Amino acid sequence: MKVLVIGANGQVGQQVVNMLHAHEQHSVRAMVRKQEQLEDFQKKGIEAVLADLEGTVDEIAEAAKGCDAIVFSAGSGGHTGADKTLLIDLDGAVKAMEAAEKIGIERFVIVSSFQAHNRQNWPENLKPYYVAKHYADRVLMNSGLNYTIIRPGYLKNEKGTGLVTAAENLPVGYIPRKDVARTIVQALDEPNTYRKAFDLMSGDKEISEALKSL
């Protein structure tokens, strides 16, 4: 399938794009909001498109035309305030869902956050971020899209092991960004992840095995 990666310039998104670009069965289009980011991907031979999550649903739909799936891994970033979190992590995600429905893309994989579905487990200092993730996930679950919601634990910049634990509820833990990216790519066409949401941590199962045992 052809996959539009929204948030392609993020730390997880870049790895997803590179994995899909090298994949034998999938292809990728990177969605970015700056010309220099677009040119960086194009220099690598990767298809890229300019669109902004603060723009219109129609603009996002235009960026997604011809794709079979969307991966949403965008985020406002830790350096921004609650206003940007609301605009990107919540409204931007919902716009992407609306764009997918508008042009008939069914498959939608979103990167959420650990325990975003359980309010009592939200860190006090990150509540606006968790509110955004929680309600974006709820909109997705109530949509007609074939969704997968991945809720990774604390992200680490390590090479990854390829070994994870995935379940509806897990104790807090860590996971390398590379293993999150690997999980996204493998989840795309794994039927056992369709219409499911799960926490994801480093663990002792191969990613394919962990996804099949959800």
Q: Which residues are catalytic?
A: 129
**DSSP codes, 140-185:** HHTSSSEEEEEEE-EEE-S---SEEEEESS--S-EEEHHHHHHHHH
- As to burial, measured by CB atoms within 10 angstroms (0-12 exposed, 13-18 middle, 19+ buried), residue 50 is middle
Query: Per the structure block, which two tokens stand in for 60?
Result: 């996002």
Distance CA 35, CA 64 (A): 18
**Nearby residues of 144 by Cβ (< 8 Å), 6 or more positions away:** 101, 106
